[in-house]
A and B are shown apart, each in its own frame.
Chain A
Amino acid sequence: MVGTSLVFLAAAIVYAVYALPTPGGPRGGTVIGLAFGIAGYALMLFEGLLGARKKVPVWRLGRAQTWMRGHLWLGLLTLPLILFHAGFAFRGALTTVLMALLAIVVVSGIVGAVLQHYLPRAITTRVPMETIYEEIPHVRAQLREEAEQLVGTLAVEAEHDDKVRFHETYAQSIRPFLESPETAPSPLFPSLRRAIPVAFHQALEDLENICEEERQLNRQRRLYHWLHAWLLVHVPLSIALLVLGGIHAVMALRY
């Protein structure tokens, strides 16, 4: 962070000194403008390498944490450097698009960093029975099976009619919820407990626990989407930024 601030200050000073006396104003074509552009693009390439680094996590190329910190701080630095490069103007079609992409990428990155700071805590406190997100469908299937088995092999001293009623209650109120907790209404266990004889209450408690787990997994899914969906904006646009930025660099240097 200290390094980044220092570099930013240095860059700002250089920009101020160079921008004013340059004939034609500060722009990418001048030597210093070009230097800013190259520095900015180099930083963008480093940012992009984070994705590549994650593909070879075991290679000892520096700790993942160092890379992540570097990604965050240097990413912030990219924005002012490119603004200096462009002299705070947009000009052509390609460059306007690039500037817009850069703005969106940096802003989405900041948003993502903020989300990743607060949401893990939210997930931890609000989903005590958390599991692995990708396995939620698998775990839910196992929960459904557990519930079915619980109800199917119930060894309880009760009247046959009561047992039938219990099975019916399960089929009507609880099973639909287990199959689609997003849409089905949540079963109300206090009222179920009143309606069902005491002998089944242990089983009911277990079912309540299963339903609670389903509810929590649902919550986990939603929180996880919030935690990771911003990447769908950040990553594709940053790839586009790198590609188009490269084309811009080539074309600008050519002309």
Chain B
Amino acid sequence: MSDLHLTIDGQAVTVPSGTTVFDAARLQGIAIPTLCHQQNETPAGVCRLCVVEAGGRVLSASCVRPAEEGMTVATNSDKVRNVRRTLLELLMADHPSPCARQNQSGDCELETLARQEGLSGSRFAKRLSPRGQDDSSLAIAVDHEACILCDRCVRGCGEIRNNFVLGRRGKGFNAGIAFDLNKPMGNSACVSCGECVVSCPTGALTNKFVVQTELGGEPAEVEDLLKLPYFQKVSGTFLELNRNAVVKRHFRAGEIICREGEYGSTAFYLLEGTAQVYLSTPIAHVHTEGGAHGFFQRLGSRLLGRKQDRREGEVNRRTIPIDAPVDLPYDNPVAELGPGDLFGEMTCMSLYPRSATVRAATACTMYEMLRNVLDIMQRNKNIKGRLDENYRRRALEDHLKNVPLFASLTPEFIDSLRDRVELVRFGKGDVICRQGDLADSFYLIRIGFVKVSEDHPQGELVLNYLGRGGYFGEIGLLGMGAGGGGRRTATCSALDHVEVVRIGAEDFQRMVDSFPEIRGSLEQVAAKHLEQNRQRLKQSTDVPLDRFLAQGLMEAQSLLVLDLEKCTRCDACVRACADAHDGVTRLIREGLRFDNYLVATSCRQCRDPLCMVGCPVGSIRRRQSLEVIIEDWCIGCGLCAKNCPYGNITLHPFEVTIDNLDAPGKRAVVTKQKATSCDLCTEHAEPSCVYACPHDAAHRVDPNQFFRDVISG
């Protein structure tokens, strides 16, 4: 290329052809202030701070203007300086100074430039409509107020890192940066590499610190972490700033790593050694006896296993789903974890209680990490690939077999499926499939909770909350949905961090064709489902709901009401309930009143069963007749009781002698808990409480119909 000769600020400069005026000045040692230009990025020329007089009618942005032969450039004339100052003033008008970056490291480029120009405030008024913040990412804070639309982050994410997550949205006044298709950053494909943070001149994108959380254990050295293939491409700055969010832990053989039912916020990644994961709560129902019937009996609780106390509607499960790469077999709930296994994901991401007890079988080394670090790990394509592979190998088969319809699949078929399935991630609130859409896949849930709901004239009716091991989408695929033609019969949306296994329609079809008995069962299930649908639609009412809302009675499909003008407070209902349920009452004769009825504290069969969200072992579910039952592998963490807004689920303590977790080899007596809830006595024609009331005061009613007169009258 030939060289060019130009004059910058009176100095003669010779530069190769293609050099921009900015670079030419830079080569001369003349610094032109910029905001949107970064040396390693393609110049965009959007901030106009680098304008110079280049002999044209208007001032030129030096970062994009190529140098020309014989150009005369003035970088610091009065005009240029005036323009620069005005530009800064305009930008400062909307800038939330001091912005986050200025607070963190004192080097917000805009504010620095403004200070250098001697600007303390701005003549111009601040914009009226706020642009907001985006706090969804675990590693990076987004403050749109501080964004000057310089485009550096976009180019950094795209050109430098090739992630292409950042882009622009909107026009004019509404313009801004966006992640993917304007998703919150935390839900986007952003891998938290931190390039945008490094590129951003202001405090629009800053690193988040993890505040006040320190994990015990040896802090992992950043260099060591970066050496691991799992942490490749992770921003070193990020790791440095969040040093204590990931620690290395060493466990001796026999040491307990975590206990079931405890609340936690960390996940574990096993590096070396093997660990045993199991349920220490016995799989049984609690039975409370004794009391003042007999004069000299005390209250005692014990457990009755399924053989002694079979309950109607209990499913025969083969496995119990837990928060680990593998599920526990129902008959002997013990499994093994080895190097490369990640467990405690749900606890870490969504703060659910620990689903099982993990004990080191041999000496173990593992990383314990907080959510932000786990988030980065999961987004890392490398690690994700490994985790997915793990799942396919170990848990996919169990999950498929858990679907009762697919119990007859052959191992060969499952092998053929293994690599054809897709693991898809959904963020909080994302709709996985919508009612009425064309069905094209079958889903199994690997982790997280999915809400399955139907649209009704009265509103949304939540049919179920599905957790790990749950499945949905088969009815639509069979083409039996309402309206025919393979439409979805319900809307499934993610409640939190959800990952599903998607089996495409062709594979599903292949499965059904190869195993015709599946089709038959599926059709039965679908037919039942449609019938229930029809029934529900028939029950629509036109009763105004506002008077219910205060007590949440509208949420209920079935209430236990006690007519206080007939009730003699004799507790016959409570005793009968306890009698029918192993001595544990499912009903409390206390609550708020409606009219002259007491709305007793007993399961209301809510349209939206909040109790079902988050069970770490998936032991609470809804039967076909819509009442909630709790299976016998409940570990007593109490999340469902906490979630129920009416206190209808209660925990019952009982004493168990188990292996002492802290002193291996010895036994200890500990107090465990089991959760219980009203199951509407479906094995009888009438609920026991209603049956046992001598004064005709107890009624199980549909609130809309029962209170119709009271509400409308």
Contacts and interface: CB of A to CB of B under 8 A. Distances in A.
A–B interface present (Cβ within 8 A): yes
Interface of A: 54-58, 60, 63-65, 67-68, 116, 119-121, 123-124, 128, 131-134, 224, 227
A60 B691 CA distance: 9
Contacts of B564: 120-121, 123-124
Given A121-B565, A227-B568, A227-B569, A57 B596 contact: no
17 contacts: A54-B572, A55-B293, A56-B579, A57-B572, A57-B576, A57-B579, A58-B576, A58-B579, A60-B691, A64-B694, A65-B694, A65-B695, A68-B694, A119-B568, A124-B565, A132-B588, A133-B569
Contact of B590 (A54, A124, A131): A131
B292 to A, nearest CB: 10
B299 to A, nearest CB: 14
Q: Tell me if A's interface is mostly helix, strand, loop or mixed.
A: helix
B696 interface: yes
B692 interface: yes
B684 interface: yes
Nearest to B598: A130
B226 interface: no
Contacts of A132: 569, 588-590
B625 to A, nearest CB: 20
Contacts of A224: 569
A57 B691 contact: yes
A24 to B, nearest CB: 43
Nearest to A227: B568
Contact of B693 (A64, A119, A131): A64
A67 B569 contact: no
Contacts of B568: 116, 119-120, 227
A120 B589 contact: no
B692 A57 contact: yes
Nearest to B692: A57
A239 B695 CA distance: 23
B676 interface: no
Given A64-B572, A67-B694, A120-B565, A57 B688 contact: yes
Interface string B568-596: 11011001100110000000111001001
A60 B686 CA distance: 10
Contacts of A128: 593
Contacts of B567: 120
B386 interface: no
Nearest to B686: A63
- List 5 tightest A-B contacts by C-beta distance, closest first: A57-B576, A57-B692, A68-B694, A124-B564, A64-B694
B566 interface: yes
A94 to B, nearest CB: 30
The SS class assigned to the B binding surface is: loop
A227 B571 CA distance: 13
A119 B567 CA distance: 10
A119 B580 CA distance: 29
A123 B569 contact: yes
Interface string B679-713: 00000100010011111100000000000000000
Interface residues of B, number: 26
Contacts of B684: 60
Interface string B91-122: 00000000000000000000000000000000
A27 to B, nearest CB: 37
Given A57-B579, A60-B691, A120-B565, 19 more contacts: A54-B575, A57-B688, A58-B576, A58-B580, A58-B691, A60-B684, A64-B572, A64-B694, A65-B695, A116-B695, A119-B568, A120-B566, A120-B567, A121-B564, A123-B569, A124-B565, A124-B596, A132-B588, A133-B569
Contact of B691 (A63, A120, A121, A134): A63
Nearest to B563: A120
A67 B579 CA distance: 19
Contacts of A67: 694
Contacts of B572: 54, 57, 64
Contacts of A119: 568
A132 B574 CA distance: 11
B693 to A, nearest CB: 6
B684 to A, nearest CB: 7
Contacts of A120: 564-569
Nearest to A63: B691
Contacts of B293: 55
A67 B576 CA distance: 15
Contacts of B575: 54, 57
A40 B287 CA distance: 42
A248 to B, nearest CB: 29
Contacts of A64: 572, 691-694
Contacts of B691: 57-58, 60, 63-64
A133 B576 CA distance: 18
Contacts of A133: 569
Contacts of A63: 691
Contacts of A116: 568, 695
A58 to B, nearest CB: 4
Contacts of B693: 64-65
Nearest to B688: A58
A233 B575 CA distance: 23
A136 to B, nearest CB: 12
B51 to A, nearest CB: 56
Contacts of A227: 568-569
A55 B693 CA distance: 13
B315 to A, nearest CB: 24
A38 B409 CA distance: 71
A63 B565 CA distance: 20
A149 B16 CA distance: 80
A128 B592 CA distance: 9
A133 B590 CA distance: 11
Contacts of B596: 124
A115 B571 CA distance: 17
A56 B596 CA distance: 29
Contacts of A55: 293
A54 B293 CA distance: 11
A63 B687 CA distance: 11
Nearest to B697: A120
A60 B683 CA distance: 12
A74 B30 CA distance: 113
Contacts of B580: 58
B686 to A, nearest CB: 8
Contacts of B696: 65
Nearest to A223: B569
A218 B567 CA distance: 19
A204 to B, nearest CB: 25
B433 to A, nearest CB: 44
A68 B596 CA distance: 23
A156 B421 CA distance: 61
A119 B565 CA distance: 8
Residue among B568, B576, B596 with max Cβ neighbours from chain A (10 Å): B568
A56 B566 CA distance: 22
A120 B692 CA distance: 18
A80 B105 CA distance: 99
B593 A58 contact: no
Contacts of A60: 684, 691
Contacts of A68: 694-695
Contacts of B576: 57-58
B565 A58 contact: no
Contacts of A123: 564, 569
